[in-house]
Structure 1
Amino acid sequence: MAAFNTSLFWLVIFISLGNSLVFSAFEFQVGGIQGWVVPPANDSKVYNDWASENRFQVGSAIRFKYKKDSVMEVSEEDYKKCDSSHPKFYDNDGNTVYRFDRSGSFYFISGSAGHCEKGQRMIVKVMASDEESWLGGRSAGYPAAVSELGGSKLVFVQFVLFYVASVVF
């Protein structure tokens, strides 16, 4: 009975610690119902306004829905120039999901000629998790190799460690 109570105790701790890692990731639809399109002439900042109204975290994803277009992640300099010649990421399947694997700024532009200049571009700022900001990019108490695993795998590692600790001690 004591072993069951100890295991239950560690399971409760595991669940409470894991919540911040597992449940903080969301998927956002860029542009709402209209999707990733050239904005009206009088609203060229629509995507940056949308991005600044949302809260992105490591593990969050954004979905670009579009027709006869593309999406690129580019450097800050290429974003400013609307230069699509050196993308870090490119997709044109009409339903692109981009998942944020780190905190910081991400720069997106349309790959179709002239669209970026008309305002089809966006800066997304991804916040550092509490654990990243406290430990310089590492998750609490784990070596860098383990913290690079990501949310669900890291939670699994936490569970295994807690379970082993409850059985051994």
Structure 2
Amino acid sequence: MFLWLVIVLMVSGSVSSNEYKLHWVIPPANVSTSLNDWASGQRFQVGDTIRFKYKKDSVMQVTKEGYMQCNSSHPRFYSNTGKTRFMFDHSVPYYFISGTSGHCEKGQKMIVEVMTHDRTTTSVAPTPAIAVWLCFFSFTLSLVA
């Protein structure tokens, strides 16, 4: 019985993560939206990932200063595989730029704001009503057995 209770609590406390797919390209000159517009429309959380898809390019995570200046000389992360998967492990802003010369200046850069998980949905402690129900259920089972 105790094992069943532990399993129920583990399942109720699990947190899912999302994967976002992004075509990592220079935004067309005739389009008024940017990669930041796309990113700001998402709700990234710790544990989520972005899958960057691109050709003959690269993706870099840089500092805020590197982002502002399109400076690719000291990236925190670099990949040029064409299908880069990047997981968010902290609740901070992430700054991405293209490592291909001139692409960042043409708008191929993005800021991703990562939030922490909402504690109300990730708590492993049962609510009082569930706790009372579980106690009643386990008591009832002990009477039947």
TM range (shorter): 0.7 to 0.9
The answer to which structure has the higher helix fraction is 1
Structure 2 Cα separation of the partners of residues 102 and 45 of structure 1: 27
- Which residue, out of 9, 14, 28, partners 1:13? 9
Aligned residues: 122
Q: Find the counterpart in structure 2 of residue 38 from structure 1.
A: 26
Q: What is the TM-score normalised by the length of structure 1?
A: 0.67
SS in 1 for 2:7: helix
Q: Which residue of 2 aligns with 1:124?
A: 112
Partner of 2:135: none
Q: Distance between the aligned counterparts of 1:119 and 1:63, measured in 2?
A: 19
TM-score normalised by structure 2 residue count:
0.78
The aligned residue for residue 20 of structure 2 is 28
Return the match for 1:90 from 78, 86, 102. Answer: 78
Residue number in structure 2 paired with 1:76: 64
Identity across matched positions, percent: 53
In the alignment, the residues of structure 2 paired with residue 50 and residue 140 of structure 1 have an alpha-carbon distance, to the nearest angstrom, of 30
What RMSD in Å do the two structures reach over aligned CA positions? 1.8
Q: What are structure 1's unaligned runs of at least 5 residues?
A: 132-138, 142-169
User: Which position in structure 1 is the counterpart of 2:143?
Assistant: none
Instruction: Return the letter of the residue paired with 2:21.
Output: Q
The runs of 5 or more residues in structure 2 that have no matched partner are 125-145
